[in-house]
A and B are shown apart, each in its own frame.
Chain A
Amino acid sequence: MIRLCFNKGTILLRGEVGTPYGKWDPRVECYRIKAMHYWDALAYLKESKLAFQDDVPNLPPIQQLNSTVELRPYQKEALDRWRHANMRGILILPTAAGKTYVALKAIGLLRTQTFIVVPTLDLIDQWRKRVAEHLNTEAGAVGGGENTVRMITVSTYDSAYLQAETLGNKFMLIVFDEVHHLASPSYMQIAEMYIAPYRMGLTATYERSDERHSLLPRLVGDPVYTVGVEELAGEHLSPYTYEKMFVELTPDEQRAYDDEMATFRLYLREKGIVLRSAEDFQKFIMVTGRDHRAREALLARNRALKIALNSDAKLGLLGRQLEANRNEKTLIFTLHNDLVYTISRRFLIPAITYQTPREERREILENFRKGEYKAVVTSQVLDEGVDVPDASAGYILSGTGSTREYIQRLGRILRKVEGKRAKLVEFVSKETVEVGISRRRRHKKATED
């Protein structure tokens, strides 16, 4: 008897038959197939008119859904394109354009076991809330200490990866929120180790600087729909302004900055090292693991950068800005957690970092949404996805040179609310390496992604 069964994120085909989709596994003496090729293998067996027993899917029970999602025209078009592509593919929509609703509509139409994979715990909460509101059912959650599997289950990428061995055969539709994450070497195994035939990827920032996004079509499907910020700004997204404000380092900071940078540059000059690209820099960092002096040079540069990014002058400017715009709902972004807490202590603004207890995070975000808190300061944890509809001002005190980070931070203040004019302000320390970092992140405009 030919028998298919799910085995730790793969399919085993037992019996006297092979398949072009699997490989002979001498360790267990039968064919082994990637979970994502399960349906191909199934079709092969059916076409060959072979009798077989299929023990692979282990789907949670179907629950009643009551879908109340109404789509905007561009969202509807995105969904139609996806359905025409055999319910596989990637939708590229700007943050705040309502990607979630497209996915919720798809779930409502398919009425099948669905796994939603998201980057952060905050997003698990947010998706569960949306599922409850718009599909009128309770979603399960995997990650952050929870482990309940339901017809609709939301998980972090981490948990989806770690638990692929047990969750891989439980879903028919898989939605990857912020799908660009999926291209990393470990996370891509999520796509390979789950059987779900229907797949949807959502992102505002499809391209990755490491080019690995080219792997995504094989795993999720091709990009089937793209729309940019400019096309939606005004009608579907808030109009916004962008401003760069320069600060001068304090004299002490300037002196320390110059000293540290001199140490760094001297070392590079002595060794004849030229750092032109991210790869050059990566190689240099590897050298610092072996060479004590190289490490000293690197540390000096990092200290200099930290001075520029965390300059006291920025705090003074932030104070003045907050005072002048006290009615705006404000998000403050930094690169380092230290600065988050410095700001939180100084201005007594709620902080959210990876160290914030989960309950407190929920409470702060809820109060921020309700308008009971006017401002929140955060490092990178709120970059993605979390929805604060009427935030209208964003201050970037420091960040990396990443375009993605910039677009995502911008997205946090773009959700459309009648009469809202959003503004994004970037603080940059004059005559420091930060000027270049800031230029890099806006090098590509958001709409071109």
Chain B
Amino acid sequence: MLPSELLAVWKRKGDIWPRYARATEDSLEVANSLINAYKDHVGEKKSVLKAFASELEDKGYEYRFVRGLAYLLDRKGTFKCNEGINPVELRRRIFQATEELGLATTPERRRRIVETVASELKVRSETVDEFLYADLDSELVLEEFEPLAPDELLKEYNLSLTQTLLFDSTELNFTASGNWQRIFYAVKRLGLIYEVYKDGRFWVKIDGPASLFKLTRRYGTATAKLLPTIIANPEWTVEAKILWRYTNEICRFKLESWKHRAMLKSPQQPKVSYDSVVEQDFAEQFQGLKTGWQLKREPEPVPAGKQVIIPDFSLEKESVKVYMEIVGFWTLEYLLRKMEKLKKVEANMLVAVNENLACEKLANLEKNAQLNIIYYHDKIPLAPVLRYLEGAFQTVQTRQTGLLKSLSVIFTEPFVNYEEFAARIGVSTEAVKEALTEKPPEGYTAMSDGLVRRDKLEQIRRKIEEQLGPTGRLPLPDAIRIIESEGVADATKSLEALGYKINWHGINAEKAEVAKL
């Protein structure tokens, strides 16, 4: 982050954006020569480096750009005061000598004062002059410098510029592809307040407590500190409102991963790690079972009103999703607060609570609980989890079936495949099958894998009739061929629906025949 006077922006019609450094030959050259200057001037004073930067400015490079880079490089170096004489102690002696000998209003008197102190310290007069203010910032000496590549410096500069612009932000909205636990943890730690909403994607709005009363830049610094955590993701969009300090107008600022990612330094996305052995054990054991449920660690946040819950796991099967939260250490108050929040969640939430670490009598909890709680000691027992999952699946399915029955869906296509239809409307196949088989829509016949339109069936009947011949019989393989050529898979069911029977001669289907009932 840079001092605000080094912030360079473009502004147009209410939009604002930093003047990012592009990796052009010119910019890279400036970065490179500054990096080299720092590398080559280890052991020299800060003022020398400042002079070098001024030269670049005089050559016509944008002064805020040059100073911004120098500012970042200063932070990559360690500066220290030349060793030898302690300047504070030296000044004390000089000022005391001045009191005795009088202010140095003439060169002679000055020389006398300096010589007096020099002889006390057994150094030369020049040394006294040299060390008198050796601890001033401009006099400090570059001791060490950690060089970096020019394009890296530009990326760091661009990130700093962005953060500096955000100092003046009154509000930030963002969406990101992951890293949620870290993001929300940072939001909390920085004293910010979030609100979530859906606008196509899952969006988060960030400001602070006092933002309720007026537009304020108060939370700008904290917001700027949050940015790296957001952009550590592969994908993100960030939109901020900037209260531009020089004109007091509100400007829009937008940052998008596809456009800006390459030019900003982004922190490494940390690997997903488990908070506890309990979580890790559970994940491994569950995945070992092959239950048909997909387990996902750190799923997307679940809205609870305007707030969110970030569960430890999500478990998904077909369209049914269950979230799971593992609570290690807890107090009754904590759990009650959590429940308040969970009541607002419109999703299946399973909470595993550690009985060993409980601070309160569980009896108290049971009374208040409207939650799906599983108790555990050292390991989370899988049986109750699976029981809950199956239950949730059944419930969802029953609910969906009920829902489907109450809906009057009008079909027009010749075939309706249950599985495809279920996927299209986001319910389970079983629910669709159950609902449609029990009460098939007008003009359709229910098969094992889907619905067939009656006129389609009639078409099949005509074709079979044509081939029945004088015997009134048709080999089963021929009938199946006709039915399948019409795109219907369930031949047995179709024949049954059309009023045919199958005469079996042994178990060989090749020898079976179809005949009218």
Q: B18 on the interface (CB 8 Å rule)? A: no
With contacts A165-B191, A374-B103 taken as known, whether A23 is within 8 angstroms of B212 at the C-beta atoms is: yes
Please tell me if the beta carbons of A373 and B105 are within 8 angstroms of each other in the complex: no
Please tell me if the beta carbons of B209 and A348 are within 8 angstroms of each other in the complex: no
Q: Kindly supply a per-residue 1/0 record for chain A positions 4-37, scoring 1 wherever the CB is within 8 Å of any chain B CB and 0 otherwise.
A: 0001111000000000000101111100101000
Contact pick for B210, options A27, A192, A349, CB 8 Å: A192
With contacts A295-B63, A348-B94, A348-B95 taken as known, whether A189 is within 8 angstroms of B105 at the C-beta atoms is: no
Inter-chain CA distance A186–B216, complex, in Å, is: 8
With contacts A286-B246, A348-B103 taken as known, whether A25 is within 8 angstroms of B98 at the C-beta atoms is: no
Q: A107 on the interface (CB 8 Å rule)? A: no
Please tell me if the beta carbons of A349 and B103 are within 8 angstroms of each other in the complex: yes
Residues of A within 8 A of B114 (CB): 348
Q: Kindly supply a per-residue 1/0 record for chain A positions 343-367, scoring 1 wherever the CB is within 8 Å of any chain B CB and 0 otherwise.
A: 0111111100001010110011001
Please tell me if the beta carbons of B306 and A29 are within 8 angstroms of each other in the complex: yes
Please tell me if the beta carbons of B133 and A27 are within 8 angstroms of each other in the complex: no
The number of residues on chain A lying at the interface, defined by a beta carbon within 8 Å of a beta carbon of chain B, is: 47
Inter-chain CA distance A289–B306, complex, in Å, is: 41
Please tell me if the beta carbons of A8 and B95 are within 8 angstroms of each other in the complex: no
Nearest Cβ distance between residue A13 and chain B, in whole angstroms?
13
Inter-chain CA distance A374–B194, complex, in Å, is: 58
With contacts A29-B305, A341-B133, A363-B92 taken as known, whether A319 is within 8 angstroms of B105 at the C-beta atoms is: yes
With contacts A27-B193, A341-B136, A348-B94 taken as known, whether A8 is within 8 angstroms of B209 at the C-beta atoms is: yes
Q: B55 on the interface (CB 8 Å rule)? A: no
Please tell me if the beta carbons of A355 and B105 are within 8 angstroms of each other in the complex: no
Inter-chain CA distance A326–B216, complex, in Å, is: 52
Please tell me if the beta carbons of B132 and A345 are within 8 angstroms of each other in the complex: yes
Contact pick for B212, options A32, A348, A349, A363, CB 8 Å: A32
Residues of A within 8 A of B132 (CB): 345
Please tell me if the beta carbons of A8 and B103 are within 8 angstroms of each other in the complex: no
Contact pick for B102, options A326, A345, A357, A367, CB 8 Å: A326
Please tell me if the beta carbons of B98 and A289 are within 8 angstroms of each other in the complex: no
A351-391 interface (Cβ within 8 A of B): 355, 357, 359-360, 363-364, 367, 372-375
Please tell me if the beta carbons of B92 and A347 are within 8 angstroms of each other in the complex: no
With contacts A348-B104, A372-B99 taken as known, whether A9 is within 8 angstroms of B210 at the C-beta atoms is: yes
Q: B113 on the interface (CB 8 Å rule)? A: yes
Q: A323 on the interface (CB 8 Å rule)? A: yes
Q: Kindly supply a per-residue 1/0 record for chain B positions 103-116, scoring 1 wherever the CB is within 8 Å of any chain A CB and 0 otherwise.
A: 11110001001100
Inter-chain CA distance A429–B103, complex, in Å, is: 24
Inter-chain CA distance A149–B63, complex, in Å, is: 44
Inter-chain CA distance A25–B88, complex, in Å, is: 54
Q: A300 on the interface (CB 8 Å rule)? A: no
Please tell me if the beta carbons of A347 and B136 are within 8 angstroms of each other in the complex: no
How big is the B interface, by class? 35 or more
Inter-chain CA distance A193–B104, complex, in Å, is: 51
Task: With CB as the reference atom, state the residue of chain A lying closest to B98.
Answer: A348
Inter-chain CA distance A113–B213, complex, in Å, is: 27
Q: B91 on the interface (CB 8 Å rule)? A: yes
Q: B465 on the interface (CB 8 Å rule)? A: no
Task: With CB as the reference atom, state the residue of chain B lying closest to A376.
Answer: B95
With contacts A27-B195, A165-B191, A323-B105 taken as known, whether A350 is within 8 angstroms of B210 at the C-beta atoms is: no
With contacts A34-B213, A189-B216, A295-B63 taken as known, whether A347 is within 8 angstroms of B195 at the C-beta atoms is: no
A318-338 interface (Cβ within 8 A of B): 319-320, 322-323, 326
Task: With CB as the reference atom, state the residue of chain B lying closest to A324.
Answer: B105
Q: B218 on the interface (CB 8 Å rule)? A: yes
Residues of B within 8 A of A373 (CB): 95, 99
Q: B265 on the interface (CB 8 Å rule)? A: no
With contacts A27-B195, A295-B63 taken as known, whether A347 is within 8 angstroms of B105 at the C-beta atoms is: yes
Nearest Cβ distance between residue A114 and chain B, in whole angstroms?
24
Contact pick for A322, options B99, B105, B216, CB 8 Å: B105
Residues of A within 8 A of B137 (CB): 355
Nearest Cβ distance between residue A68 and chain B, in whole angstroms?
33
Inter-chain CA distance A186–B102, complex, in Å, is: 46
Q: B217 on the interface (CB 8 Å rule)? A: yes
Q: Kindly supply a per-residue 1/0 record for chain B positions 170-208, scoring 1 wherever the CB is within 8 Å of any chain A CB and 0 otherwise.
A: 000000000000000000000101110000000000001
Q: B8 on the interface (CB 8 Å rule)? A: yes
Most chain B beta-carbon contacts within 10 A, residue among A289, A341, A375: A289
Residues of B within 8 A of A27 (CB): 193-195, 212, 306
Please tell me if the beta carbons of A10 and B210 are within 8 angstroms of each other in the complex: yes
Task: With CB as the reference atom, state the residue of chain A lying closest to B88.
Answer: A360
Residues of B within 8 A of A320 (CB): 105
Residues of B within 8 A of A323 (CB): 103, 105-106
Please tell me if the beta carbons of B98 and A349 are within 8 angstroms of each other in the complex: yes
With contacts A8-B191, A8-B208, A189-B210 taken as known, whether A350 is within 8 angstroms of B95 at the C-beta atoms is: yes
Residues of B within 8 A of A355 (CB): 136-137
Task: With CB as the reference atom, state the residue of chain A lying closest to B193.
Answer: A27
Known: A23-B213, A26-B306, A349-B103. 5 other contacts (CB 8 A): A9-B210, A27-B306, A28-B193, A346-B104, A348-B95
Residues of B within 8 A of A (CB): 8, 60, 63-64, 88, 91-92, 94-99, 102-106, 110, 113-114, 129, 132-133, 135-137, 191, 193-195, 208-210, 212-213, 216-218, 246, 305-306
Question: Can you list 6 A-B pairs with a CB-CB distance of less than 8 A?
Answer: A25-B212, A345-B129, A345-B132, A348-B94, A349-B103, A350-B95
